[in-house]
Amino acid sequence: MHVRFFHRIVSPGARVPCPEERGTDKLKTTVKTRRRARTGAVAALSVLGVAGLVVCSVLGITSFSGTALATSGSGFTTTSVLGPILFDEIDVKTHTEAQKVMIKTWGFSDVYIVTNVITPGGYSGWHSHPGPSLVTVKSGTASYYDGDDPTCTPHVVQAGNGFVDAGGGHVHMVRNEGAVDLELVAVQIIPQGAARRIEAPDPGNCPF
């Protein structure tokens, strides 16, 4: 599976037209998926369906019955997992005056929506994912470390913001260096049937 994202936003001062102003705002949206024969009872979901699930997860609306998963971290708990949700190839292009987005995949994908909680002083442990993750910091502050950064400099992300892990074996760790619980909601796109998380040895670039 290959995944490619393109995203461009105009300058903050630009005016975003309302949907009612269709006469002045040229909106071109193309969504194309190639259908293939599937085995098993897997429901076909649209890209907009995933967007709705993301919103529900961030707002705490979606309920789950899964138990916490074992990890190599400390103070790290996976509180909910939705998935795998099977997607055929995705080819989405959305162009407006305010934004341009492209999402393209090759091959079948499993999509997960995962909620993780890290207590103060806790960490996820070094790991990687076979595909990209779009991570939202729902509460607290995330300190994200790259396993290939010799300076071990954290990317600090506050609540209400997010970050992207490119996947493809990129080793990383998330730590909670704040005083309150850190809650993360991740949307992950990985090859069909692949392990969602892959444990990794300490890369040795950080003192912890």
Asked if pLDDT for residue 67 goes beyond 90, the answer is no
The answer to whether residue 162 sits within a structural domain is yes
pLDDT band of residue 3 (cuts 50, 70, 90) is low
* 3 state SS of 207: coil
Q: What is the CATH number of the domain that holds 72?
A: 2.60.120.10
> Using an 8 Å Cβ cutoff, are 137 and 126 in contact?
no
The total of other beta-carbon atoms located within 10 Å of residue 87's CB is 23
Which tokens belong to 83? Answer: 């998935």
The answer to whether residue 16 sits within a structural domain is no
Position 70 scores a pLDDT of 36
The answer to whether residue 21 sits within a structural domain is no
Asked if pLDDT for residue 147 goes beyond 50, the answer is yes
The answer to whether residue 111 sits within a structural domain is yes
Question: How much is the average pLDDT of 39-68?
Answer: 40
Asked if pLDDT for residue 29 goes beyond 60, the answer is no
The answer to whether residue 204 sits within a structural domain is no
Q: What pLDDT digit, counting tens, does each position of 189-207 carry?
A: 999 999 999 999 999 999 9
Question: How much is the average pLDDT of 17-31?
Answer: 46
> Using an 8 Å Cβ cutoff, are 183 and 116 in contact?
yes
The answer to whether residue 130 sits within a structural domain is yes
Asked if pLDDT for residue 59 goes beyond 70, the answer is no
Position 5 scores a pLDDT of 58
β-bridge mates for residue 67, sequence order: none
The answer to whether residue 20 sits within a structural domain is no
Cis peptide before 191 (omega within 30 of 0): no
Cα separation of 38 and 34, whole Å?
Answer: 12
For residues 160 and 37, the model is more confident at: 160
Cis peptide before 154 (omega within 30 of 0): no
Asked if pLDDT for residue 146 goes beyond 70, the answer is yes
For residues 46 and 122, the model is more confident at: 122
**Percentage above 90 pLDDT, the chain:** 65
Position 43 scores a pLDDT of 42
- Average pLDDT over the chain reads 79
Domain range spanning residue 167? 2-10+26-35+43-199
Question: How much is the average pLDDT of 36-56?
Answer: 42
Position 8 scores a pLDDT of 52
Unique residue bearing structure tokens 């995933």: 50
The answer to whether residue 84 sits within a structural domain is yes
Asked if pLDDT for residue 44 goes beyond 90, the answer is no
Q: Residue-wise over 133-163: b if at least 16 C-beta within 10 A, else e?
A: bbbbbbebbbbbbbbeeeeeebeebeeeebb
| Structural domain count, the chain | 1
